[in-house]
Chains A and B, each alone.
Chain A
Amino acid sequence: MWGGGVVGEDMGGVVGGGNPATIHMMVVTESQTHPVIEELRQLLGDDAVVSARDEMTVYECDGFTVARGWPTAVVFPSDTAQVVACVRAIAKHDELQIVPRGSGTGLAGGAVAYGAGVLINTTRMTRIENIDLDNRVAVVQSGVRNLALSDTVAAVGASKNIHLHFSPDPSSQRASTIGGNVATNAGGINTLKHGVTSNHVLSVEMVLANGEVLITGGVGTTDPSTVYYDSVGPDLTGLICGSEGILGIVTRVWCKLVPTPEHFRTVYGVFNTTADACNTVADVVATGIVPTSMEMMDGAMIKVVEDAFHYGFPTTAQALLLIEIDGVDTILDDQLATIVDIAKQNHATDVKQCSDPVKRKELWSARKSAFGAIGRISRSYCTQDACVPRSKLPEVMDNIQRIGREYGLTITNVFHAGDGNVHPILLFDEDNPDEVQNTLRASEALLAYCISIGGTITGEHGVGVEKLHLMHKMFNPATIDTFQKIKTAFDPDHRINDGKLVPSDTLNIELLLPTKSGSPGGAMSH
């Protein structure tokens, strides 16, 4: 994720103002007169097809603003039948890619049409078709926003005093769609205890490249609002979650609803070393307590946040750990006491407990404000996303700083410590070509290091085009070949979102290759 000096949002909000122009990958096509546009207008109506350049600016990129491409057109179907019709119409034109897109809050360039392609935007597919409190399931069109679903479920359940919600809570949840959550297997701050999207989706409906509709999991053959918690055969639902829109277009999702936690305790600990804070994380988890979230800021980030928002954090501290637990009210205080003891055993210099809802809100606001505050100290920043074994966090934090020194960059950190999901934030000046190059190289070094200690190149942002070139470092050739073959089983002619997530033989987007201007930012080859 790249941001540019203006307020951005952690993990998924549209990065406001981010415009690192020197490292854009810009693919401009002049295909807005393509015959498919008229065909799509015939199918959907004029108000559901956009093809004028000035109306498509917002679709030029997603939250990963480095990689950009103009679509041939953007279509806004309102139901599965219209998606099928669009796919069949587009498929007749061999040169066109079909690119699914939700709200465009993705952070890896997965929802962008590079070269000639039509975006199928699901944001008009906003119908919540069924909320079944008895079976704890909601059936939604894929364009329903994450928070809209939970809000609606809460409203429906309120009269019966049944408090359920859809658990995945990416920071983009006000904007991001359920279909997008499926595509990226979105997580969020509560992932540690409550899991990611694939843990909360029972079935999906997907339109394939040939226009056929695939329904996964156990869905009633006569009543599609009926879904089961078990099925038989390979788990296609699990495969589709996190597939970044390369297998088909998700049009409907059967979501699990789970009880909404009503009781919380929140605590934050201040430490003189990141190692002490990281050890606290591992020790808490080892007790059997599974916090809802364990979020960490390093010293530089504490100072940034404190300078910006004046929450009262000690600016000399080297680490701040924010921990929240939820569950049975009568036992939370006991769990909290255990956590406080562990923090103190790990040399916390200060531990503050918080059960007051207002104070709790302020604390979380501090955490969520972190990315916005970075703009105060750097014109541009690049947020990396990797996941490492939790026990390795102390050495990972040291090595992040080592790599920063090697490349002459300041790197600060705010991340999901409980999951081992680190987000090193590399600060740079977009007008300084050397810093841009160093940022790209430092990112590579960071991710290579994380792989070397058993980690992964992405914990939650996805591969998209951003990390495509690292897939060969992560997986052996046979495994990459397996991914490609599965892609081909779904999409034999590679018409849907090719060149994302899985290295492609037909479309290759290399962000590290220099453009014609000589700066990095990507080149595309067919």
Chain B
Amino acid sequence: MTMTVEIQDAAGLVEWVERRVADKMPIVDYGVAHRGMGNPPTANEHVNLHFQLPDDAPNGGIIEHYTRDMTVRASAAATLGNLQRELAKQQQFLPIDADDDLTLGEIITHHMWGPWRVGYGSVRDHLLGLRYIDGLGRDIHVGGRTVKNVAGLDVTRLMVGSLNELGLIHEATLRTYAIPQQISTIDLRLNDPSKLGQAMTDWLVTEAAPAAMSMHLAMPCPQPQWTLRLAYVGKPLACAAQMRSLETLLETHPVLVEAGIHIVANGIRTLDEERNQNQTLTAWRRLAPAVVKLIAPPVHFGAAAQSLCEWASAHDHPLMIDALPVHGTLYAGGDLDADAAGHLDHAIEQLHQSIGGMRVWIQRPTSATFEPVAPAQSNHAFLATLKKTMDPHNLFNPGRYIQPHFSPA
């Protein structure tokens, strides 16, 4: 039996989860942008949970905004878009890269990050405290609302990326940031990113280090063109100074000169415009039937991007690719069937053998047979032990990632 339940407030969620724990009914919540991530639920009977606040929820789901402390406590069901709108009223924001319709809970449990991580860190770095329901139906409070806190085990961070397998988050407290006075964006064009990783550290130690960076395929393979997008934030004076440093770097750094990297556009955007642009550029990931995240050492990100492009050309598969160069993560995918996705998985496996790395499929085509995460991580067996501790009845997203051979206590 499967059924879908919509819950619209934290108190309702706590009460509902307590009942599911009591009757030992597995709860499945993969989020809306990660439905294909990991294995399908192993429990035949389960309930699909949809924890979403009503559109007219007061304050966009913010429970308390401590404006002078620059921290916010919000429902995990609050959408990022609503949170940003409310915070903007106090000239603050969350430097989190995710679509507006995603909930805070989904962002945390899938550790979503993107271009802003370069200058601001990821949601892992902004989190101060959490409340979640554990596998015994208890309301657990971890962390707090202060910006430094070493009391107790840091279960707050443990829950980041936990894929809703250790408990269900219903509230989070995060640091907020002042909306920058100016956001200057720069688009750079290059044909071959394969050596770009070698210049990245040199770039980051200069005053041209950006607050955000991402790379996107502007022209498809086999003759690709890439766009490297940067953002500088701060006062106009600061942005202009960084822009001058960038121009100098592009003219003098041998790897960048050799790559023919050059500025094709620059402008000033509002925060909303910049966030919208980032969402537009990554919208394909929500639509494509096959999407894989490739994690590699940053120095190799460009070579990995080029290699994926060559694979697409060789197999005549249109492939979307974008990358987060500073942290060595790429997303690739498109309209691939199970066979094609399997070939891509194999190609990435070979790439891993030369440059290292791992892959996580965000969306796999129906009937795909390859593993959703590879290579297997060495700590996987220990995670099963931890899950048994925190979710002794294996109720939360059973079998999604933490498996195999989980035997409920």
- Tell me the A residues contacting B by CB distance below 8 Å: 132-136, 162-164, 184-185, 187, 191-192, 195-196, 198-199, 214-216, 218-223, 226-239, 241-243, 259-260, 282, 285-288, 328-331, 334, 387-391, 416, 419-421, 454-463, 467, 471, 474-476, 478-479, 481-483, 485-489, 501-502
Contact = CB atoms under 8 A, between A and B. Distances in A.
B363 to A, nearest CB: 15
B389 A236 contact: no
B152 A471 contact: yes
B139 A388 contact: no
B70 A239 contact: no
Which 10 pairs show the lowest CB-CB distances between chains A and B? Answer: A238-B157, A288-B178, A229-B327, A459-B148, A478-B138, A331-B238, A391-B68, A134-B299, A387-B146, A330-B241
Contact of A482 (B149, B155, B202, B241): B155
6 contacts: A162-B205, A229-B329, A235-B124, A239-B153, A390-B70, A486-B386
Interface string B219-261: 0000000000000001101100110010000000000000000
Interface in B142-181: 142, 144-163, 165-166, 177-181
Given A229-B329, A489-B386, A222 B148 contact: no
Given A164-B201, A218-B358, 10 more contacts: A214-B379, A223-B356, A226-B356, A234-B158, A235-B161, A387-B147, A390-B147, A458-B151, A460-B148, A475-B152
A233 B377 contact: yes
Contacts of A232: 161, 163, 358, 360, 373, 377, 401
Nearest to B385: A489
B140 interface: yes
Interface stretch (B74-82, B290-298, B308-316): B290-298
Interface string B174-207: 0001111100000000000000011011101101
Contacts, number: 273
B379 A420 contact: no
Given A216-B379, A233-B161, A238-B157, A389 B402 contact: no
Given A195-B125, A286-B70, A485 B146 contact: no
A288 B238 contact: no
B298 A220 contact: no
B389 A478 contact: no
A287 B178 contact: yes
Interface of B: 66-71, 111, 113, 121, 124-125, 134, 136, 138-142, 144-163, 165-166, 177-181, 197-198, 200-202, 204-205, 207, 209, 234-235, 237-238, 241-242, 245, 293, 295-299, 327-329, 356-358, 360, 373, 375, 377-380, 382-383, 385-386, 388-390, 401-402
A215 B378 contact: yes
B388 to A, nearest CB: 8
Given A234-B158, A387-B148, A329 B207 contact: yes
